[in-house]
């Protein structure tokens, strides 16, 4: 079964501290993985996708097939990073995104 697990409901850090939002997945084959973000009073939007191997707003995520993980990392958190973060993967049929339950990141000064 395809599944995305985000073990933390809430992650609280201080400004300038490193951040790691955990994501584990279950999938047969080669998954396409994404991180979506929802800032306060904004709509859900794509943050980054693993195939692009890009850094967006200082965030990176590496796909680790051995550990079936796709953790989101940022070396120095900023207050504007406070948001809800969802890890997602494309279903095997390719028509749906399967989301985790999300992690709320709270960055305080």
Partner 1 sequence: ETGVTQSPTHLIKTRGQQVTLRCSSQSGHNTVSWYQQALGQGPQFIFQYYREEENGRGNFPPRFSGLQFPNYSSELNVNALELDDSALYLCASSFRGQANTGELFFGEGSRLTVL
Smallest separation, CB 42 to partner 1 (Å): 9
Residue found under tokens 């709270």: 106
Question: Taking the CB of residue 85, how many other CB atoms lie within 10 A of it?
Answer: 23
Smallest separation, CB 18 to partner 1 (Å): 24
Nearer to partner 1 by Cβ, of 26 and 45: the residue is 45
Q: Rule CB under 8 A: is residue 98 a binding residue for partner 1?
A: yes
Q: Rule CB under 8 A: is residue 100 a binding residue for partner 1?
A: yes
- Terminal-to-terminal C-alpha distance of the chain: 41
Instruction: Give, as ranges, the residues between 20 and 79 that touch partner 1 (CB under 8 A).
Output: 32, 34, 43-46, 49
Smallest separation, CB 50 to partner 1 (Å): 10
Q: Which of 60, 69, 82, 91 is the binder for partner 1 (CB under 8 A)?
A: 91
Smallest separation, CB 78 to partner 1 (Å): 24
Q: Provide CB contacts within 8 A for 84, sequence distance 6+.
A: 37, 38, 102, 103, 104, 105
Question: Interface with partner 1 by CB under 8 A: which residues?
Answer: 4, 32, 34, 43-46, 49, 86, 88, 90-91, 93-102
């Amino acid at each position: 079964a395809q599944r995305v697990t985000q073990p933390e409901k809430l992650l609280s850090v201080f400004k300038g501290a490193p951040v790691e939002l955990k994501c584990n997945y279950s999938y047969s084959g080669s998954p396409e993985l994404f991180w979506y973000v929802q800032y306060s009073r904004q709509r859900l939007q794509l943050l980054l996708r693993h195939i692009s191997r890009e850094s967006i707003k200082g965030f990176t995520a590496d796909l680790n097939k051995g550990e079936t993980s796709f953790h989101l990392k940022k070396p120095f958190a900023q207050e504007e990073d406070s948001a809800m973060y969802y890890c997602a993967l494309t279903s095997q049929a390719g028509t749906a995104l399967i989301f985790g339950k999300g992690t709320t990141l709270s960055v305080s000064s």
